[in-house]
Structure formats: C-alpha cells, structure tokens
Amino acid sequence: MKKLLFSIVMIFLSMPTTWSCLKNDPASPANGKGTTQNNETASMYANMPAADKTGMSSDAFALAAKLSIGWNLGNSLEAYDDGTDPTASETSWRNPITTKEMIDSVAAAGFKTVRIPVRWYPHMTEQGDTIHIDAKWLARVKEVIQYCLDDGLYVIINTHHEFWLENHPFYADSASVYQRERKLWTQIATIFRNYDEHLLFAGTNEVHLSGTNAPGSPENYAVQNGYNQIFVNTVRATGGKNAYRNLIVQTYRADANWGTDPFKIPTDVTPNRMMIEVHYYDPWNYCGMDSTKFWGAPYKAKGVDKDGQEADMEKCFAKLKTLYVDKGYPVIMGEYGVVRHSAPSARLSGAVRASRAYYLGTLVQKALSKGIIPFFWDNGYAGIGEDQFALFNRRDHMKQVDASAIAAIMKSVKTNKVKYRNR
C-alpha cells in the first residue's frame, strides 16, 4: 500500500500541472514577516493545454552548449521615458528602431544567441486576474524575436526595468508584487507558449534596493528567491511547450560574487530545464567608467585596478562552476562588457583598445571553460567614454565599432567551446 501511495504521489509531482506548481509558492519565513502567496484563482489558468515536448528536446546543458556566445539588444525594447507614447518607447533612449539588418550583422559576426531585454509595464493593462499586453507592443516584440529566429539564433526574453518588482524586495510588498508578477508571466508565457526551444524565458533583472549597489538583507534575498519560484511555477502552469521550456533565474542583483550566497535554486516540476543567471562588470572602474584605462597583467605597468584582475575573475568563475554547473545548472552571464575608453594620449590609443580586447577575450575564455555562457552588454552607444558599450554602430549599418574586441571574443569561443562533463 505504501509503495502504491508513493508511486501515485511521484506521478502527481512529476506532472507539470497548474496546481502542483502553485503549491511550491514561497511560504512565510520562520520569522513570520512574510506572506504565503497562494492567491491565484482558477480562472488564471483555465483551459491550459497539456504538456508538449515537440521541439523541446534539449535539456539545460544541451541547450546551453548551443547558446555558445550571446549579445544583448540593450536600451531598445526595455527603453521608456514617462510621458512618451508607449508605442514609440523603443527609440526613447536614442537608439534607432531595431531592424532585420541589425540582427543579420550580429549573426554574421558569430554570435549565436540574442538576449532581448523587454519592459512590459508601460504596455499593459490589468483587469482582475488578467494582464493584457498592448497588441502593437506585443507584435513588435514578436517581430524582433522573429528577426533572430530567421537567422537561426536563440533568444532570451525577460522582464527588464519592471521597477514595481525590481525595487521592492520587501516582505511588506511581496503579496501584491508576487500576484502581479504571476499575472504578467501568465500572460507572457501563454502568448509565447508555442515557440520551440530557441526561445528561453528569464524571470527578473537585477532585483535590488533602489539607489545602492550594496548587498541586501536576508529579507531582500528571501523575496528575490520568491520572485524566482513564482516565475518558475507560473510558466510551468501554462502548459504546452512551457512545461519543458528552459528557464533562467537570477541571484540577487544578478551579482556573481556576494549574490550567490543567499541564492536558493527554485524547485521545478520539470527536471534539468533551469539555468542560473549572473552579471559581471568587475572591476567597475574599468568596465563601466572611463577612469581606469587598462586591465590585466600585460598592462599592469600602465595602471590597473587593485582588484578584479585575472586571479579574481578566475576565482569568481570557479565558484560559479562549483555552486551551479557541477550541480546540474548551466550559468548564463546575462551581461558583461567594457566601455570604449578615451586614450590618455594618442600614443596610448592602441594600447587602450588592445587592453579592452584582452579583457573581453580573457573573460570569454575563462567563462566558457567553467560552463558559463557570456552575453555582451551592447547598449548601442558607439562613442568614447562612460556608458559607451557598443560593439556595433546601429546608426551606421551596424559597422563594427571595435573589430578587435569582437575578434577577441570570437577567438576565445573558437578555442574554448563550452563542454559539460560528468552530467
């Protein structure tokens, strides 16, 4: 009898049904400050199709190997300025409309996957248990995704700059935020349910306390872990191909160092279909600012930061491998990058470019060797100095802004293709 009951329970738990997923929602912490988020209604998940594995054969490791090397369509579909026409938001941060030509150029350069950050809240309305995404905005997101798919690329879409979620990692807000998150991801997942494994979903982006880059509190970490669990539960509950879709969850602030310690891997009714996302911009004075011009041992004499050099990078990536890759979860480095620095003199301009290429090549090599798939943060800004991350000039037929940087990335990919052992 016990064996029979055990078998029945295991069968039930293995089914990607709505209610088996929802019962894994985040419960109240031991201190009693949290809330249990079982506040969905049956209408939210009515008439969901049965699980469909067609076109979804790759588990997380098999798919991660196919992702190979990634590029971000940054500051485009997540762009928005209050007061602007939501349908015109794509260009509100000074980037042009994304075209098929742009994506063709990315594919031609050797990138295999495009991460498309997407901001949804300016383009949606809420009605009871349902969120409705504006038809024009939805059509635009689908159009850009199709540009990528037509080139044989893989695609990641997320919720990006959803400040109602990202800046509210608090118990007091969790009930309402979890509920809204569930409604949004129910809508997104249902709309894109019939896409095959070339489309991946990522639940959040850099959840953190607004205005600070510092580590959070146990409360902040617990709420972020809750966001991840709600995301997984909700997508699985929509059925169809989403029962087998590879999902991506983040550490707090997507931090690759201190964000990993309080991170809790969500439970998932579908095994071996989850990846962990971190971001890496170390050292920030070099990667994101124009204050430090050089990085790495070959340029030490010219002046580099004390921290964030090759040994620190190796230590961080090795930790990620131990924590996640070795335990069955490929790691997505959803963002990394280096700005185009101004040269302190004409004589050093070549060395400045060479140092950037060295950093990027080193990072990609070390990441791939540890089972980490890196995605370059390209925000479309092709100038010199702070915030100028672009590899391509979107305003000039996608001409390569820094061919040596792209060459360094692709050389490391060619010589360090990701291989997963002991699966």
Which domain does 388 fall in, by range?
55-415
Binned at pLDDT 50, 70 and 90, residue 350 comes out as very high
Of 77 and 85, the structure prediction assigns the larger pLDDT to 77
Q: How many domains does the chain have?
A: 1
205 vs 62: CA distance, rounded Å: 24
pLDDT band at 221 (very low <50, low <70, confident <90, very high): very high
- CATH number at 321 reads 3.20.20.80
Position 29 in a domain: no
Write down the pTM of the prediction. Answer: 0.91
pLDDT at site 86: 72
pLDDT tens digit sequence for 271-282: 999 999 999 999
Q: Is residue 87 part of a domain?
A: yes
423 in a domain, yes or no?
no
Residue 18 in this model has a pLDDT that exceeds 50: no
Asked, for residue 11, whether it belongs to a domain, the answer is no
Cα–Cα dist 157/190, whole Å: 14
Could you confirm whether 206 is annotated as catalytic? Answer: yes
32: in domain: no
Label residue 417 by pLDDT band (50, 70, 90). confident
* pLDDT confidence band for 212 (50 / 70 / 90): confident
> Cα–Cα distance between 26 and 30 in angstroms, integer?
12
Q: How far apart are the first and last CA of the chain?
A: 35
* pLDDT score for 22: 43
User: Which of 79-114 are b and which e, b meaning 16 or more Cβ less than 10 Å from the residue's Cβ?
Assistant: bbeeeeebeebbebbebeebeeebbebbbebbbbbb
Q: State how far the alpha carbon of 9 is from the alpha carbons of 116, 238, 266, in Å.
A: 39, 21, 20
Least confident of 3-17, 175-189, 320-334, 344-358: 3-17
Give the single-character DSSP code of 281. -
Q: Could you give the residue ranges of the DSSP H alpha helices within 43-156?
A: 60-67, 100-109, 135-150
Give the pLDDT score at 45.
56
Per-residue pLDDT, 26: 57
Pick the closest to residue 332 from 59, 60, 56, 55 (CA basis).
Answer: 60
Q: Write the secondary structure of 118-141 as one string of H (helix), E (strand) and C (coil).
A: CCCHHHEEEECCEEEECHHHHHHH
Query: Any catalytic annotation for residue 219?
Result: no
Helix pair angle (218-237, 171-191), 10° resolution? 30
Residue 38 lies in a domain: no
Question: Is residue 9's pLDDT more than 50?
Answer: no
The pLDDT tens digits for 357-394 are 999 999 999 999 999 999 999 999 999 999 999 999 99
pLDDT band at 318 (very low <50, low <70, confident <90, very high): very high
Residue 5 has pLDDT above 80, yes or no: no
Tell me the pLDDT tens digit for each residue of 114-144. 999 999 999 999 999 899 999 999 999 999 9
Residue at 236 is within a domain: yes
Check 162, 166, 206, 277 and give the catalytic one: 206
pLDDT band at 20 (very low <50, low <70, confident <90, very high): very low
The answer to whether the CB of 224 falls within 8 A of the CB of 249 is no
Least confident of 19-23, 80-84, 314-318: 19-23
Whether 50 is in a domain gets the answer: no
